Structure 1
Amino acid sequence: MELRKLTIDDYEACMALSEYAFQFKLTEDQLERRRQEFAKHNVLGVYADGQVGAKLQIIPFQTYIHGRSFEMGGIAGVATWPEYRRKGWVAGLLKYALEEMNRNKQSVSFLHPFSFSFYRKYGWETYVEYKKYKMSSSELPAKQLTPGTIKRGNTELVELKQVYDAYAARYNGTLNRDDAWWENSVYVKKGSQRAVYYDEAGVPQGYVLYDVKESKFTIGEFIHLNEESRRGLWTFIANHDSMIDEVTLQAPASDMLTFQLDNPRIGQEVVPYFMARIVSVEQFISQYPFASQDSPVQIWLDVEDAYAPWNEGVWELNVAMNGTASIWKKAKSDGEGQLNQPIRLSIQTLSAVLMGYRRPAEMAQISRLEGPVSAIQALEKAVPKRETYLLDFF
């Protein structure tokens, strides 16, 4: 087995493997578009018998966490030819990918798992879920008059970005999208139709990306910055009632749509979605905006991380009153007494907690972290509350 970075010369071999493993076939135009994307990604592979036997790619992204933008490595396209499976090659690639992301200062990584249990072994953990709705046209929210206006058609990207960025920054784990991602992913995957809600001052406050085909209104993205724009967009959708029988969409896990319906018994499902992993404890926490404190706080964290040894060990975390943090690794023998007893937890648990998906107290209840009650309470107070969400796929 030979682990190496792949180049554009390996593109055809990688695409052949992807098409086989994920059972799709690309057109010539799609292959050329993928070639351009391939050149921008960090692609790692295993060579065997003179060919690419397994591979994955690291897509450079930025993600919002508590309103700040973090460098994120998106793991995608993990595939192995069937004759080379069960040899531990993917484990080797993931370890190599962690080393690459650490070198490139990508302090956190996301991926969409084929198996949650498989990627948990390597340090990733569930960080987001969403609600999936399905309703008939008769079950839609009631039409309501709003002071703003709807404009349908090819809206300027700058206006969609303005609304999306304000919305996405409210959550942890959303993508900070660049123009290329909008053009090559959002527009391609989210629907061919666009409608934007503008308030009385003409400022965009929400939008919907959608398709209407075969009496189905399929919403690829529904974004609203306030209740007015939410009502305006739902009224726009409801005005299609003579054309459609069914509406589908996704929303954050905390969404209250059913509470606002006359009949809340619509089709809904909570879907576990992506996984996250802290790549570098030191870099991630140094950037992390903790909650403001009444006085400085010191917490010791004993982190287990078998696949990223630079994270393994006891860390001293100091949170200032303004929420800024400093962290450095300590020897386990340092310090005496209850005040310096560490919270013991895995990198998976730490990732879920700091992403905001689960609270420290919740994880302590199920023994996913252990330590002095006072230290767990201090961590509970220090980690801000913010919901996770992700509208994209890669």
Structure 2
Amino acid sequence: MQIEVIEYKGSKVKKKIKQNGAISYSQKGVYLGVDVKTGKQVTTTITARTLKELDRKSNRAKLEFEKNGFTKKERIEVHILEDLAEAWYRSYKTLVSSENTLNRVRGYLDNYIIPKFGDFQPQQIDASDVQLWVTEMANNARDAVDKGKLNKKGNAQDFGAMAHKLSDIFDFGITHCNLEKNPVSSIKIPPKPKRNKERVMVLHDEDLAKWLLYLTTLPNTRGNRRFKIICETLLCSALRINELLALKISDLDMEHSEISVSKTLMWKNPDKKLGIKGKVICKPTPKSDAGFRNVSVPLEVLERLKEFHEEMNRYFESHDLPKSELIFPTIYGAFMCDRNEQTTLKKRLIEVGLPDYGFHLFRHTHASMLLNAGANWKELQVRMGHKSITTTMDAYAELAPKRKVEAVNIYNAKMKELKQLC
């Protein structure tokens, strides 16, 4: 491309000649006028195929500016609520760093808001439309709580959060798309139905012994070796499953017999409109600041984790693949999704007649073991990676039946002592 600067009507114009012979003219700093809102002079750049077209475009830009009296703000064109919701979500993504939050809000849009209002013109949606929708969701949620069917689609407990997100979408439309009203602002959100407190699943001594015996019967395959070391590590450390699957070999401190927790895996939802598939990503921080911790575990567990890491790297080497720092990589060296292992775990728990509760079962069991052995709440809080000790106490107060019996024994012993003094 050839570029030269020419003089045209007292101004400098850049002339560009492409390799195919096409010519274009570009003029910077074309004066439009003074912005009545800011008091600043406004200029722009005009590009055209000929000098005459350059003149026409300059005059048109000046007339448009004089008509508006100020720099025209770019408007987002929307025709139906789905357009508005997607425009809002694009903006929302720039303000939120948590993939979990984005996944949840994306679910609100795809499963509830867009299916209900997506084809509506935003200005035609009334408060009564939104109120009926929210009330219907609240009734479904209440029925689900009463019948114990909490996972069925349409029974969402967070209908209030969805209403607030719909309100945010309309506020965005008022700011960027000339909408005149937000119909959500005048609705009443019903109270969230209260669920009966669920019993925390835990393996007490007899069930835990049954599970450990079952693990010894599994065939000695690589998949089973991985499954067993995952279960064993979760049981002795109380790590969350995605904290464990994020571990690298450098996170194992063999000298001090500790695991360093500093990250977690999470699922990034697909974007069907952009053709992006869902995938597992590594969040470079744990669930909360309190999640940063060094957890003491038996040295033999660290050694088995190291052995499995070496086994996987021997596999990569034999298949001419690069080695991985991950302890539990896929056969392609990527982050491992916990879903397949969760399915395997649930199938095997059912097979031996134990509660089907997923990998958190081992986290709860670990907490129960510590409490029954006399660990204090603060010690347990730090080990579990909880931000607040209240969270720890609320979650695990029911997990120490031995301590309950111990409390009765302490009371009886004290009363016996006092009676002897009478």
The higher-RCO structure (CA 8 Å, 6+ apart) is 1
> Which protein has the bigger strand share?
1
Greater C-alpha radius of gyration? 2
TM-score by length of 1: 0.25
> Which protein has the bigger helix share?
2
TM-score by length of 2: 0.24
